[in-house]
A and B are shown apart, each in its own frame.
Chain A
């Protein structure tokens, strides 16, 4: 492997690595605007110029591959490079409106971050604001707003649109310092991935319509998570405050979603926050369901568990559930007398978790954990619809159902089917217990309702379409008396002597889930540490949001 020396530090990297990537790996900061690890380098901003020994001129670190024995010096160690970086930053600022006080990017803006760095910025302005080239402001492009004056012409957005999604909706017009980014006739972008533009823009030129003026970014708390919108499992970061989730942005994972996510997934947090919730346990008294304490509800449900049974029991999971919750269901089924129908599928066919909706990210399966459910052996019966038929024939004594509505509108057809079957099951089973996060009509015939956490309210794991198991952290407190599903399930089993008693999602994963052959001894800690696919290196400046963890 070639060994390149950057600022005196020898770094050994694979051939064809770019200097900037080698530096990132070694934790040496090279400032940049146009470079993005998931776009083809274009080398237009000139912020990353470095000196390579033997080269006549300074060279962009983002377009120059390393070679063996290459000696590179950066702005931290070389006066000329420092002058070059300072010069570029000064150029970028002369026509910038400096409207940080009303700019949404403030706090995560590469211009701000680099200006505050003594090696590149902190200079006095050499121009007066009346001398600046004026451009257009606040152009509404649908999911993003364009403020041309703030644009640094790095072309990340253009390259994203051309290379990543192929939408090709953005282009530069004019020449010289009048160059301006435009969308054709200012029409709203139709790219279903356009929300990414706001993330990848290193400055405040493209900002998210959804997040605009909502919160200053320095008030946000962050939780690494995984999108629940489909079986892709895009890595996301939940940005939340005491008010709840403020936005969801992609987290870079080169193996799953690179730096992107689809807009449906991005805005799925709205579905989650607007969901009508059930926040207290309910039990049946005659015709009606009444709020009760967890203890009362659990006592009632536990009674049903030990009731003598003539027919079948149905334990129904959901592909929206975490592996830990599904494991809880399994544990419940395992401790029951046979026959038990353990199921999460609507029909007897396995869901097609690999069917793609496009060439980029989206999968047709609108649940995050169908693969996990399959790997856990949840599909052991003949499908929910057949079970509902047996219930109607009076063959189901006890039904335990875990249910979540999908987080994206596209999941609706699936949901309708599922809910129809669940309604039949609940109506005809002799006794039914429902664990759910949503207040929905179909379960009004059930006997016990246990309120469980939604996506983002509990820790756990999902397994995506290609069997990658990923950790989701808890992004906000659940409302009311809501409990994580795995805890509610273990609580239900508290009186069963043979049931295992685990105290956390981590314990369930390590001792329960990971013991299943399909999970092959994975460790929860490892999954958590995989959040470390950080770009840029942890603790460094923002570089326009590609990397999220640890900030």
Chain B
């Protein structure tokens, strides 16, 4: 199988410039610099490369939206926030082949004529920084970065920025706000980043893996890249395989590779004595696939779409028969409830509400119609939020509940019917025992705020 991204990753000296250059690093950049930016964009468009950050948007098309305006020079943001649960391939790339990413960044910067590039690394990847800074320093010393890249007169500067651990900083406009030193509240589009992005300048945001494909494309040409993978999803995909699987890890597979083959060959199959139950194929933000569905799909954008899910970040989380789906959903829902930035109403209030319902399904106190309630709340979030996090939070809830309904229904067996109207909960009658909970909650919030809360 042809490797585009990982062919040199196993060499220990690949992190040094000398090691990387001995295997052809920066040849792609040299090649790109010989071409005009327009030709590079053309080449990437012809390669059919699609974004690996989640949405799979064609990279050449994204670059083509930029209008060059010397008064507001374009900016390239390389998105290394990688906060999608179950995703760790950008880390893998940056740790093993930093020069590949740097080269990709420089090719993209040349293509969109950006002098200013920001590489945004999630806060938790702090330990990557020494390696990355070392690689950048080497690249600068060798003349790949700086005021006059390889004597072409092109100026390119790369700034590394780190987040502080918020998922929303990976959302492209949240990332821009974060870079501008603000709270990462996503922006309403339009205006789109290509028109008005970071610091009001036309901006392109690309994922680390997306850019890492560029050196290969520049060296081997668009046609060679297009020949890999499938017609609509050319190239390869770095898959982060985790969960109940024998050999978790990062694997590069050609697009169109069967998911079941990945699990069996690369992943080494289920743990001994266990059986596959489900796979989340693209980070927790995409609908889960049952074992039956897993058998039918291949790893590419169209096939995933055909079964109603998405390739997303390629973060594949495997569930086997020992996993309780409601417990898994609890963990996922809490992730979205705490990571919702809180800017727009449906996501801010809805994610917390869904998480609270999943909690009470597991902890007691659920209501008979709670599964329908979950679906109803999801319907009120989806498609109505500023950014994709709202939609993302709904996908696991809906797909878990619909595909593993019996496991959730089992939790509903001993619910107490809800009393109407609500205030009866605090009066006399069958619910008196619950009043302890009110006191408990009030005590807890007093402890947090230092102020009495009142209740009636």
Which A residues contact B (CB, under 8 angstroms)?
41-47, 49, 57-58, 60, 63, 83-84, 87-88, 90-92, 94-95, 124-131, 133-137, 152-153, 171-172, 174-179
Contacts and interface: CB of A to CB of B under 8 A. Distances in A.
Q: Is the interface of B mostly helix, strand, loop or mixed?
A: helix
A137 B451 contact: yes
Contacts of B379: 83, 87
Contact of B455 (A58, A83, A84, A129): A129
Listed residue (A44, A45, A171, A172) with the most chain B CB atoms within 10 angstroms of its CB: A44
A131 B356 contact: yes
Contacts of B451: 136-137
A134 B351 contact: no
Interface string B206-227: 0000000000000000000000
Contacts of B185: 44
B87 interface: no
A91 B425 contact: no
Contacts of B338: 175-176
Interface stretch (B242-250, B252-260, B292-300, B341-349): B341-349
Q: Which 7 A-B pairs have the closest CB atoms?
A: A87-B380, A179-B342, A177-B352, A91-B349, A43-B188, A134-B445, A176-B340
Contact of B348 (A43, A129, A177): A177
B125 interface: no
Interface stretch (B1-9, B21-29, B53-61, B383-391): B383-391
Interface stretch (B103-111, B229-237, B436-444): B436-444
- Interface bin, chain B: 35 or more
Nearest to B380: A87
B344 A49 contact: no
A407 to B, nearest CB: 38
Q: Is the interface of A mostly helix, strand, loop or mixed?
A: loop
Interface string B363-405: 0000000000100000111011110000000000000000000
15 contacts: A43-B386, A44-B185, A87-B379, A91-B350, A95-B349, A95-B352, A126-B373, A129-B426, A137-B451, A153-B343, A153-B345, A172-B183, A172-B342, A176-B337, A176-B348
A45 to B, nearest CB: 5
Given A43-B188, A87-B346, A125-B422, A133 B384 contact: no
Contacts of B188: 41-44, 60, 63
B361 to A, nearest CB: 14
Listed residue (B183, B346, B426) with the most chain A CB atoms within 10 angstroms of its CB: B346
Contacts of B453: 134, 137
Nearest to A133: B352
Nearest to A43: B188
Nearest to B448: A134
A45 B380 CA distance: 13
A177 B336 CA distance: 11
A175 B386 contact: no
A91 B434 contact: no
B343 to A, nearest CB: 5
A129 B442 contact: no
Contacts of B437: 130
A174 B380 CA distance: 23
A84 B349 contact: no
Nearest to B369: A126
B346 A176 contact: no
B166 A94 contact: no
Contacts of B337: 176-177
Contacts of B381: 87
A35 B386 CA distance: 15
Interface in B133-170: 166, 168
Contacts of A172: 183, 342
Given A136-B451, A177-B349, A45 B384 contact: no
Contacts of B350: 91
Contacts of B353: 91, 94, 127, 177
